[in-house]
Structure formats: structure tokens, C-alpha cells
Structure 1
Amino acid sequence: MKEPQTSNHLPSPGSSSLESGLASRGSLRWVAADITLVLEEARRRLDLSPITAVALGRALSAAALIQRISLKMPNRVVLEIVGDGPMGKVVAETDSAGHLRGLVGNSQLETPADGRMRIAPLLGSGYLRVTREEKRSRYSSQVELVSGELGDDVTHYLEQSEQIRSAVLLGVLPRPIGIAAAGGLIVEALPGTEDEVIDQLEENIRTLEGVSSCLDRGGMPALV
């Protein structure tokens, strides 16, 4: 059996594809990320199993989205997801140029027997810590994991630590060998947004086919 990768070094650099804009007459701000090529390179370099590739892909997508959605774009954003489960930790880092890199504590975990790509049981109980670095300052904030699937956890972080009301969708579609699609979408309700706009946003999210499915079907245009 291969030894778990626990190095503090963050390999696998690459650039994400990001788009952003406004919706609902300026009430909503959105950012979308396509990291398919970055994650495929990370999977190859780190020899990730399908389930650990899903975990790293979600974390890398979240880092890219948080960095771009910030009003004052930080020079560097680091996400650390640490749990008491067999995966141990997932770390994702991005900079102002959009470069991404990351690692998984145990890179060779097997996909659950039911075939579902759920990472929460492998992370266990733990926390999400986000560190933002600017030229002369460094700021970290930490929240407990609420679902362990990362989308809800990032939403919780943004609301608790940044007072940002948002919806965060993260997705990775693995192939038997390789990555078909990976990315994410964050939609922020700007101050003063009417309740009916938020209700419609929540309904749209419930009916969305999935971030990775959209990217696999038609790339970024299909997602946004």
C-alpha cells in the first residue's frame, strides 16, 4: 500500500478560468470557476484516487471563488480543511494571478462502496480555516464543518466570518481515469437585495443540474 501523502509542500500549480458578473439588475454578484485542467494535472502529479481528487477539486474551486469574490482582492488565499477522519486534511491555495495548488493528507483513499462521491465521511468532524494575505496584513478565520461536503461549509464561513450572504456550488466529475470537469459557482446577494430575488435564486439553485455536469456539457458558457 502506498504511504499517505502528508508533506507540507504544496505542489501542482496551475491557473483557473474565472468569470464574474452581476445579475437581477445588479442585486446579485456571481463568480464562476473552471479548474478542470488544473485538477487533472494535480491528480496526475499527486496520484490522487477519484474520491481524493473530488475533495481537492472542491477545495481548489472554493479558494479561487473566495479570492475573486472578495471586495479587496487578497494577494493570497489559503483554505485548510482539517478533520478527524481518514482523509486528514485538504489544503488549497490561490494567488492574485489565479494560480492554484494544493494537497490531500491521504491521497489514496478508496471510493465508498456505494459509489457516491461523498467526502464528509472521510473528513469526519473538523474545521475550515481561511487565511487571506495582503501586502502588509494576514487574517485568518475558522468555522466548524457543517456538512463536510465543502459547499455548505464555505457558505457558512462567508456568512459567519465575512457577513456575505451567498450560495456556493462546487463540483467535480471524475472519469474512471482522469477528470471530466471541475469547478464552482458562488452567487452573493448584495446589500438591499429583495427577498423575492433571493427566493428565486434559491429555487434556481435547487433545479440546477450540477456545476460539473454543466461544465462537462458545455464548458463555462453552460455554467453561467
Structure 2
Amino acid sequence: MSDYIVHASGAGNQVRIFAASTRDLVEKAREIHNTSPVATAALGRLLTAGAMMGSMMKGEKDLLTLQIQCSGPIGGLTVTAKSDGTVKGYVNNPDVMLPPNSKGKLDVGGALDLGVLSVIKDMGMKEPYVGQTQLVSGEIAEDLTYYYATSEQINSSVALGVLMEKNNTVKQAGGFILQLMPFTEDAVIDKLEENVKKLPSVTTMLEEGETPEGMIRRVLDGFDVEFYEETPTGYVCDCSKERVERAIISIGKKEIQDMIDDQKPIEVNCHFCGRHYEFSVDDLKHLLKKAVRA
């Protein structure tokens, strides 16, 4: 398989780790949204994180949403992911262009600037779980590390990367999320910190030919490793005319009647995949009848 996520544990089950390669799904997102290089990098990092975090959920219908509202020129990002490894997302301003940062890299932190990261987990309960933290760097991996520590009280290390070709297509993309169990021994923590400090970037490892399994072995160097599930991941939008109809019905009878009174067809566009759905005045009248019966 091309893009996939691996789940493993190590050090006698004292740590768990997820790693992913996501080049194809990030490239598909770039093609759909025609994103600039820095927007591709930002969205690609959040999609990669979303895919791994979504795969951590257990229920078939569980849904994870990662949302960043920020003051930078990218305007914000939204990603949703399912437990089956599929993911989709968009940026508010896909055309954002910035000069490289001080390290000569794509300036994702500058594109986001100040803001808030929200993690929303809909697991079929009465209300979804919502965790929020301030962005600490705008680089996304550090922000998610901070989120886990403050909102879920899980000591973690998150690494994400997107490498672009000179023609602005995606060359490499992937990442890992390392999480410590509450009973992790200090000596294990010290060794893991040492391992993570020595690691090259995610995209450097992928360029060297590392697989997600290889990245996990390097993070857990010196410890036993047990591999579990291998989950394919990809960019999938599940929008449909029926779902859009339900959304229109949900806005209320008065609003639908106002659209009918305008005597013009309406077009609804999907943020995630760009599909267009057109509804004639007769379609709207049909939906109004459904709204009245609801």
C-alpha cells in the first residue's frame, strides 16, 4: 500500500506510537485545493496528524475534527478524520505565499501566527468532547504536543513533515505520535528523549527510504517493539447530494422559503473536495415539504 499508518508499542508496553506515510493523500489535497507550497505544508501536516489521531478512535462512526483558527494569512484550517484512516481537510486561504523562515524552510508558523487549536471528538455521546489550546508555535507538531500535555494529560512527542518538489508537488509527507503511559519509568523517558533529539526530520527519514515501521524503530531504538495494526490511509470526501439536502433542510423552513422566493437556483459547494451541487427552485420546494414534515 502507498499511504498507511502503523500502531506499535515498546519498552514493555510503557509507550505507544503511531507512524504514517502520507505523500499520496497530501498530494491529492494539494490537487483538489490548488494550495500554495506553504499552505500544502500546513494542511499536509494537519491531515497527517488527523489520520493518525482518527485511527486511535475505536468506534466505526467516531469522527475527529482538528480545527485551527488563527490570525495569520492562511486564515485557518479544518481537518476531519475517521477511525478507518480516511481524512479530508481544507485551508481558508489556499493561495497564501510567504518567504522562507530563518531556517530556509516553508514558514508554516508565520502562515498561522497566533491562534487556537480545537480537537473535537464525536464518539456518539450526547455531546462531543472538545479540547482547546493556544498555538505555541504554529508549526502544528509542537502545538499538538502541547495539546496532548495540557488537554489530555498525555506526555507525547509529535513530529510531522511535508517536503515539496521544485514543481510544487508533494515529494514526501508523514509523521509520528509517541505517547508515554502514566507508569513509564524515568530511565525509559530519558532514553526516548535522547533518541528523539538525535532523529533527523520526518521528511529526511522518508527521503532516506524509511518506512513508518523504520521510523518507529529509530524512535524506540534500544527498546523492544511490538507492531500491531497497519491501517491504509487516504484523502476521502464522503459528501453527496443527499447529505447536502439534509443540511439545507436543517437550516429551517423560513430560510428555504426565502430561497424559493428569490426564484433562482442555488449552488452549494463542498469545502473538502470542491464538488458543486445545484438545486432548482422545484428542488427547494421539495425540500421545503420535507422540512415541514420534519
What is the distance in 2 between the residues matched to 1:182 and 1:127?
24
- In structure 1, the residue matched to 2:289 is none
Q: Normalised by the size of structure 2, how large is the TM-score?
A: 0.67
Moved over 4 A (4+): 70-74
1:152 paired to 2:142: yes
- In structure 1, the residue matched to 2:109 is 120
- In structure 2, the residue matched to 1:181 is 172
Match among 23, 31, 38 for residue 10 of structure 2: 23
Q: CA deviation at 1:118?
A: 2.3
Give yes or no for contact 1:16–1:64 (8 Å, CA) kept in 2.
no
Q: CA deviation at 1:148?
A: 0.9
1:133 paired to 2:125: no
What is the distance in 2 between the residues matched to 1:191 and 1:72?
24
Give yes or no for contact 1:143–1:157 (8 Å, CA) kept in 2.
yes
Q: CA deviation at 1:171?
A: 0.8
Give yes or no for contact 1:31–1:68 (8 Å, CA) kept in 2.
no
Unmatched segments (≥5 aa) in structure 2: 217-294
Deviates more, 1:208-217 or 1:42-51: 208-217
Give yes or no for contact 1:215–1:222 (8 Å, CA) kept in 2.
no
Alignment of 1:84-103 (within 5 A): 84-103=71-90
When residues 105 and 155 of structure 1 are mapped into structure 2, their CA distance, relative to the original with a 3 A threshold, is same
Q: Which has the larger radius of gyration?
A: 2
Deviates more, 1:65-74 or 1:117-126: 65-74
What is the distance in 1 between the residues matched to 2:69 and 2:15?
31
Match among 27, 49, 53 for residue 40 of structure 1: 27
Q: CA deviation at 1:161?
A: 1.2
Give yes or no for contact 1:19–1:31 (8 Å, CA) kept in 2.
yes
Give yes or no for contact 1:16–1:98 (8 Å, CA) kept in 2.
no
Deviations 1:160-214 (A, max 9, x none): 1111111111111111221111111011111211111111111111111111222
Give yes or no for contact 2:38–2:111 (8 Å, CA) kept in 1.
no
Q: Which amino acid aligns with 1:159?
A: A
- In structure 2, the residue matched to 1:52 is 39
Aligned partner of residue 198 in structure 1, secondary structure: helix
Give yes or no for contact 2:59–2:123 (8 Å, CA) kept in 1.
no
Aligned partner of residue 109 in structure 1, secondary structure: coil
Give yes or no for contact 2:58–2:83 (8 Å, CA) kept in 1.
no
Q: Normalised by the size of structure 1, how large is the TM-score?
A: 0.87
- In structure 2, the residue matched to 1:200 is 191
Q: Which amino acid aligns with 2:160?
A: L
What is the distance in 2 between the residues matched to 1:82 and 1:205?
29
Percent sequence identity is 34
What is the distance in 1 between the residues matched to 2:34 and 2:110?
21
- In structure 1, the residue matched to 2:68 is 81
Give yes or no for contact 1:19–1:33 (8 Å, CA) kept in 2.
yes
Count of residue pairs brought into register by the alignment: 210
When residues 197 and 73 of structure 1 are mapped into structure 2, their CA distance, relative to the original with a 3 A threshold, is farther
